[in-house]
Amino acid sequence: MEEIEQVREGWRDKAKKVAKNVVAPRAAEIDEKGEFAWDLVEEYSKHGFLSLLIPKEYGGMDADITSFCIVAEELAKVCASSALLVIVQAVGTMPVVLGGANDLKERVLPRLANEKGLICFCLTEPESGSDAASVRAKAVLKGDHYIINGRKCFITNGGVADFYTVFATTQPDKRLEGITGFLVEKGTPGLSIGKTEEKMGIRGSNTTEVILEDVRVPISQRIGDEGAAWWQMMRTLNRSRPAIGAQAVGLAQGALDYLIGIRREKGWTRKKEDGTGAPFMLADMATQIEAARALVYKTANMMDEKAKGTPVQMFSAMSKYFASDVAMKVTTDAVQILQWQGLTKNHPVERMMRDAKVIQIFEGTNQIQRMVVAHTLLKSKST
Ligand SMILES: Cc1cc2nc3c(=O)[nH]c(=O)nc-3n(C[C@H](O)[C@H](O)[C@H](O)COP(=O)(O)OP(=O)(O)OC[C@H]3O[C@@H](n4cnc5c(N)ncnc54)[C@H](O)[C@@H]3O)c2cc1C
């Protein structure tokens, strides 16, 4: 047990250092320019942040979910966009790790782990967001290849990835059970990038359309069996949603730390704020952040323990929505406390507030997470 704790604290130390020395000085600029930070790819890769959930045998770090969350939290304290890079890499990779054939793993995972390869997760379509069962991208088997046609949107890393984990239907009448995952390499004829989104927050993350027109993919690049994608996606999201929760916790903590820092340094903008509830708002922020952190790491621990019968899907959903709602509240209050100054670029809290809004939406909206929780509660047998 002590050994696991040491490993986790090792990840925390590393992520803290990278956050402080490399990410923090770039955070405002990354947001301002809305540019993908290639220098961070270099840095993250050096520290193993881009291969956290890849098994050792393929050159990865084999980190547990708790360590994954720790890295996401520490990076997000200074820049939520930059934390997302680590999470998305894991999200794109997990279907291959969980469901790919050995041959596919051997071809792809070492390139992600050792060659700074980037990967993205292509599920959402213009007509299929929350309702993933209505995926319209189609993959049709012709001889030893599939021909894929479809249009994906809001894909994180879409314009910068080397590999695309693409979900398409192979049997539309089967709905969820008819969806299959494929690994498509950058440069494959017919794969192109459409519009790049200009977002209000998480601006350092590249978000694009991904267009597939008669893309030929060999059977060997199918991820697992036909129709196995739903299971792969759910297991992937169970692992990534606590990390998104950790990203939100980090973001909220970053805002609180900033306020405490300037309060200690020079007081609020005006002395009278101490009498107008600002200290109580700080107390509420700290309390909400601790509650969110406890939920996130309880969930991560559940995933790591792999105890049978634990409702991990429900806890993953709870972590994602509770922590991102806390981040929204904390960052909004942080802007409120700083009043008109909080609205300006003189303080990072306005960026943090914009970033929090995005976290409430991606990786399944917070309404959908509530549906997952409610559904689990209602279907479980009474105790
Ligand atoms: C910055 C960013 C990055 C993203 N990255 C990726 C990525 O890498 N890969 C990827 O595949 N997708 C990605 N997405 C897409 C994201 O996961 C979807 O936006 C999200 O799942 C919601 O889908 P939608 O936008 O189509 O909204 P819709 O599904 O159209 O929903 C619209 C609204 O209706 C609500 N709603 C929908 N259904 C129900 C229901 N049954 N009951 C109650 N309310 C409901 C939703 O909560 C939402 O408020 C990203 C999105 C963003 C913003």
- Give the integer Cα–Cα distance in Å for 312 and 174: 26
**Does 274 or 24 have the greater pLDDT score?**
24
What pLDDT does 1 receive?
Answer: 67
363 included as an active-site residue: yes
**CATH number for region 119-227:** 2.40.110.10
In which residue ranges of the chain is CATH 1.20.140.10 found?
230-379
* pLDDT value, residue 267: 64
Topology of domain 2-114, CATH: Butyryl-Coa Dehydrogenase, subunit A; domain 1 (1.10.540)
- What mean pLDDT comes out for the span 72-101? 97
- Residue of the CA atom closest to atom 7 of ligand 1: 155
Percent pLDDT > 70 in the chain is 96
Q: How close is the Cα of 135 to the center of ligand 1, in Å?
A: 13
Q: Which fold has domain 230-379?
A: Butyryl-CoA Dehydrogenase, subunit A; domain 3 (1.20.140)
- pLDDT (tens digit per residue) in 103-138: 999 999 999 999 999 999 999 999 988 888 899 999
pTM of the model: 0.95
Closest ligand 1 atom to residue 122 Cα is 11
362 lines ligand 1 (CB under 6 A): yes
User: Is residue 383 over pLDDT 50?
Assistant: no
Domain with CATH 1.10.540.10 in the chain: 2-114
Query: Contact at 8 Å (CB) between 236 and 229?
Result: no
Q: What's the whole-number average pLDDT of the chain?
A: 94
CATH 2.40.110.10 in the chain is located at 119-227
Is 244 within 8 Å of 86 (Cβ atoms)?
no
Amino acid at 299: T
270: left (phi over 0), alpha (psi -120 to 50) or beta: beta
The predicted structure's pLDDT at residue 228: 96
pLDDT (average), residues 87-106: 97
